[in-house]
Amino acid sequence: MKLIREEIESVEFIVESKGGKKQLYIEGVFLQGNIKNRNGRMYPMETLRREVGRYNENHVQAGRALGELGHPDGPTVNLDRVSHKIVSLRESGSNFIGKAKILNTPMGKIASSLVEEGVKLGVSSRGIGSLKMTKEGINVVGDDFMLATAADIVADPSAPDAFVEGIMEGKDWVWDGGILREKFAEKTYREINTLATQKQLDEKKLDLFNNFLNNL
């Protein structure tokens, strides 16, 4: 059984108002079946349908379908890094459309601030299962697949650019909420200043962004 993650960038962050109070949500495709994805993997629809049914019953309907900000190392949801709660997950063709509410947690506040500052974010499903390679070179996910979370919030390819620009400009969201965050912002700023060329900076941006998220 391997830890399997799939990123999807085409999600929307929407603001809904209820009783004069604004709430941020993520909405879009969270899972895709019967198609070879960019990681060379394919999820049979029957496997996803069964697992989404279990996930909806045991997690979404029970109000405990949680996701994190960043890329966790294992299948367990870490409560101290939870940023959102998945409120719906439904089948639409070969896709599963999800909606998640951004929570008022430390990681949820960071996700909200990143969105407000124009950083583009996506989602990444996370689960465990076996893989079987076909003769066409496609890794088919086995029917033992178990979904840990339908969506963690992750950076899409343009996010590290906005993040590095934010660090260099001293954006408030970088500093908000604690000494650890400030310490890593300063460390990142020093690292940026040691990179001699734009090419070096471009190559390092994703590492800088991921290191920052992982050390929040």
β-bridge partners, 141: 131
Q: Active-site residue among 83, 112, 124, 125?
A: 124
Q: In the numeric block, which tokens belong to residue 146?
A: 């178990």
Number of H helices, E strands in the chain: 6, 11
In whole angstroms, give the CA distance from residue 210 to residue 64: 26
Identity of the amino acid at 19: G
Note if 71 is an active site residue.
yes
113: annotated active-site residue: no
Of 71, 88, 113, 130, the active-site residue reads: 71
What would the two tokens of residue 118 be? 């124009």
Question: What residues form DSSP beta bridges with 21?
Answer: 18
Distance from C-alpha of 159 to C-alpha of 210, rounded to nearest angstrom: 10
Residues with a catalytic annotation lie at: 71, 124
